[in-house]
Structure formats: structure tokens, C-alpha cells
């Protein structure tokens, strides 16, 4: 989605959203909150990567369990395509993912950090290996159907090879906004907290790494119409600042 008159010469700021898990398709839908970005010349794109069921059941199966890395390679391929076709450039591309989509963003940032200008990780499932190793957490054993049971060594090794927290390393990362909720039960606040703490010791750049915890919210963010709008406005203001589009 984009405003009429956008030049496809690589100069446009672009927000790319991804999820790719639990068979959830990235269906096109109207969101009034995006109009603010569109009016400022931002292109909005959702990537229908494997792990969702955008192209049917096999599309979902090919992005889960021992094929989860297909979700990451699909998202990287979508990013490279948008750049190659002139929709944006690496210096204008911001990526966004929430929950399992936050795992997606964390994984691709470790793999291809220079491909992106900035990233928003919202209640991100970034300490996925440690969480999946703790059967006392309320959702862990049920999640074996999506991610696998790490008590199996083959599964453990595969999870370990892409878990965002475990694969942080000394390199330059894009600017990042990481968001958590204190009362979040699917993704406990300590996941993004320890992720950010470790990243601060490893990253070699001086780009902004901002961590914000909503002390009254759960997995779905602030409740109440106006509190929710303020939360979304904060995210957009941060992104607009990264694009240099602040009035």
C-alpha cells in the first residue's frame, strides 16, 4: 500500500511487516493507523512468508518445526526483491514483527543486519530456546507442535542454530526499538529484556537500541482505545524519526 505518486527509484521509505507462524496468513486488511505513514510517503508491505498458510497448508508446513528457517530466508528474499525493484533501499527499509514475528526479525537481523535500516521488535519471542527448554512455563509443551521438542537433540541443535538471543554476535546492527509488556504470559518480559542487555554488550555500532516495557500491559499491548493509540503513535514516531520524516 502506498500513496499515489510515489517514485520507485529506491528513495521511498518502506515498512515491511512479517509473521510467518502458526498458519496465520498475512491477509490484506484496512488499518486506519497506517494512513499517517502513507500520507508521509511511506510504503507499507506485508510479506506472506512460509509458516503462514498464505498459499495453503504446505506453505504452513514448510515454515515450521525443522523447516522454520524457510521463514527467515523468505523474509530476506522479500526484502532483497523490494530493493532490487526500486521500491526502497537498505537505507530506507524498516522491518517490524511481533511475538513469533519478533523471533523472525531477531533471526534475520543476526543473519543480514546490513540489509535493513531499522527494526521494531514487539513482544518478541527472542529467547526461544531457553523458553522451549522450560516445561514449567504455561505454553511451552503446547508449543512443541510449532517449534519442536528440544529434549530431542536434533531439534535442540536446530533451535539453537537460529534462536535470536543465542545467535547474537559482535557486529553492527540496525537501529532497534524493542517493546515488552510486564504482564505478558506468552512472551515473558525477561525475554526481550535479556536480549537487549546482551545485545548492548555485543553490537559494534552506535545506532539507537531502545527498550521500552509497558508496566501495565500484556501480550496484546495497552488496553483501552486511547492508550492503544498512544502506544501505536509512539512506535510510528520512532520509525518516522529513523526515516528523518519528523515534522
Q: Which residues are catalytic?
A: 99, 184, 219
Contact predicate 121/179, CB 8 Å: yes
Q: How far apart are CA 12 and CA 91, in angstroms?
A: 10
Beta strands, E only, the chain? 14-18, 43-47, 93-98, 118-122, 175-181, 209-214
Question: Are the beta carbons of 126 and 165 closer than 8 angstroms?
Answer: yes
Give the containing element (helix H, strand E) for 37.
helix 35-39
Q: Are 102 and 187 in contact (CB under 8 A)?
A: yes
Instruction: Give the residue among 73, 59, 68, 71 at the shortest CA–CA distance from 159.
Output: 68
DSSP 23-34: T--------GGG
- Name the residue with cell 513469533: 100
CA distance 3 to 191: 37
Residue 45, all three cell numbers: 508491505
Q: What is the C-alpha to C-alpha distance for residues 183 and 218, in angstroms, rounded to an integer? A: 4
Specify whether the CB–CB gap between 49 and 55 falls below 8 A.
no
Amino acid at each position: 500500500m502506498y500513496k499515489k505518486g510515489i517514485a520507485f527509484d529506491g528513495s521511498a521509505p518502506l515498512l515491511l511487516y512479517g509473521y510467518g507462524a502458526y498458519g496465520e496468513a498475512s491477509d490484506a486488511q484496512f488499518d486506519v493507523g497506517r494512513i499517517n505513514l502513507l500520507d508521509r510517503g511511506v510504503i507499507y508491505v506485508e510479506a506472506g512468508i512460509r509458516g503462514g498458510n498464505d498459499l495453503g497448508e504446505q506453505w504452513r508446513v514448510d515454515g515450521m518445526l525443522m523447516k522454520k528457517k524457510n521463514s527467515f530466508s523468505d523474509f530476506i528474499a522479500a526484502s532483497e526483491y523490494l530493493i532490487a525493484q526500486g521500491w526502497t533501499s537498505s537505507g530506507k527499509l524498516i522491518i517490524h514483527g511481533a511475538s513469533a514475528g519478533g523471533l523472525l526479525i531477531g533471526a534475520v537481523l543476526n543473519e543480514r543486519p546490513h540489509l535493513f535500516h531499522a527494526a521494531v521488535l514487539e513482544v518478541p519471542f527472542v529467547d526461544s530456546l531457553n523458553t522451549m527448554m522450560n516445561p514449567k512455563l504455561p505454553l511451552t509443551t503446547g508449543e512443541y507442535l510449532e517449534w519442536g521438542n528440544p529434549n530431542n537433540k536434533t531439534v535442540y541443535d536446530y533451535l539453537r542454530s537460529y534462536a535470536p538471543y543465542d545467535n547474537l554476535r559482535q557486529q553492527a546492527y540496525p537501529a532497534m526499538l524493542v517493546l515488552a509488556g510486564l504482564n505478558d504470559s506468552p512472551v515473558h518480559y525477561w525475554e526481550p529484556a535479556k536480549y537487549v542487555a546482551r545485545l548492548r554488550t555485543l553490537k559494534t555500532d552506535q545506532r539507537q537500541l531502545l527498550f521500552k516495557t509497558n508496566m501495565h500491559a500484556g501480550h496484546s499491548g495497552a488496553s483501552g482505545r486511547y492508550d492503544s493509540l498512544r502506544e501505536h503513535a509512539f512506535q510510528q514516531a520512532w520509525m518516522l524519526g529513523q526515516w528523518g520524516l519528523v515534522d
